[in-house]
Structure 1
Amino acid sequence: MLEFRIEKITDLPRIDLSPLLLESKEEGFRFIVRLVNDYKNGTNTFNKRGEGLYGVFNEDDDLIAIGGINIDPYSNDPQIGRLRRFYVSKAYRRKGVGRFLVNKILFDARRTFEEIVLHTDTETGALFYTSLGFKKSSGDPNTSHYLKLKI
């Protein structure tokens, strides 16, 4: 059985992102590059009320997944959070790592947000998020899925 630990990341430059960065670029995803650049220039450091950046580490302390939540920048409602910069290393997909990470983010988000939104443009991503209870969204080009946290 594989063991993982999840940590809230408060100082991204201290984390070795290079394996995830390289792998994500090879897959054609640019959001890890944006994560690094936005963090570096202060545009998004996941430090506002309810926000957070999380990493999943394996037994060797290697970062194998990352994801965060922000106040949704496309909404005027501070009760809406946006799942962002979510990536799981290919070697750890379909092993529960992504589910583990999203569930931790949602658990913490319940204290601040009423709804979580996200945007994915892959079928695999859409299937993953619907398996976690997210509903498909329509009408908003910035949101593909949403989940109500408080009823």
Structure 2
Amino acid sequence: MPDQPTIEISQIEELPEPFDALLQDADAEGFDTMSVLRDEWAAGSNRFERPGEVLMLARVDGKTAGIGGITQDFVEASYLRMRRFYVRPAYRRLGVGRQIALHVLEHARPFNRPIVLHADGPDAEVFWPTLGFVPIDRIHTTHVFRPLR
């Protein structure tokens, strides 16, 4: 059995230096999530710095593997929204996305607010329910996670 990779998750306050790897991989797959993150960051419109927000970076054996965070929801102010999740193809199926999501959910726990997201694609639609998200019929939203009160 091969050694399990070392997955490190850390909160970041600046986009990582090797951001180009995330951007290039996402673009190659037809996902705009990393280019939107870059553009919003550069414009200052979304830097994951309002109350309840956080951006996490995953490294596997020291290499940038994935990113994801949570912001205030743009549809309903009392909700939080999982945003800008992306795991590079070479690091999928290793638990990277799960670890990022669990760290983000742990960060959000004290806020005790519903958390929504838009699952982009069939893999995401299968992934999020494994963490307790359930489908919802809501504009710009596919799933919701309701914390236990």
Give TM-score, length-normalised by structure 2. Answer: 0.93
Write out per-residue CA displacement over residues 55-110 of structure 1, whole angstroms, 9 at most, x where no aligned residue: 00122x22100001001011132xx1100000001111111111111011001101
Matched residue, 1:4:
7
User: Matches of 2:111 and 2:80 in 1, distance apart?
Assistant: 8
Structure 2 counterparts to residues 61-140 of structure 1, below 5 A: 61-77=62-78, 80-138=79-137, 140=138
User: Matches of 2:73 and 2:49 in 1, distance apart?
Assistant: 13
Matched residue, 1:55:
57
User: Matches of 1:113 and 1:41 in 2, distance apart?
Assistant: 30
Matched residue, 1:21:
23
Q: Note the C-alpha offset of 1:150.
A: 3.2
Q: Structure 2: state its 5+ residue gaps.
A: none
Moved >2 Å (runs of 4+): none
Write out per-residue CA displacement over residues 17-61 of structure 1, whole angstroms, 9 at most, x where no aligned residue: 1111001001000010000110111000000001011000122x2
User: Matches of 2:17 and 2:60 in 1, distance apart?
Assistant: 14
User: Matches of 2:9 and 2:129 in 1, distance apart?
Assistant: 22
The number of residue pairs the alignment matches comes to 146
Letter in 1 for 2:147: L
Aligned residue among 127, 138, 141 for 2:139: 141
Give the share of equivalent positions with the same residue, in percent: 33
Aligned residue among 24, 31, 34 for 1:32: 34
Contact 1:71 1:82 in 2 (8 A): yes
User: Matches of 1:129 and 1:76 in 2, distance apart?
Assistant: 22
Q: What RMSD in Å do the two structures reach over aligned CA positions?
A: 1.1
Q: Note the C-alpha offset of 1:145.
A: 0.3
User: Matches of 2:120 and 2:44 in 1, distance apart?
Assistant: 26
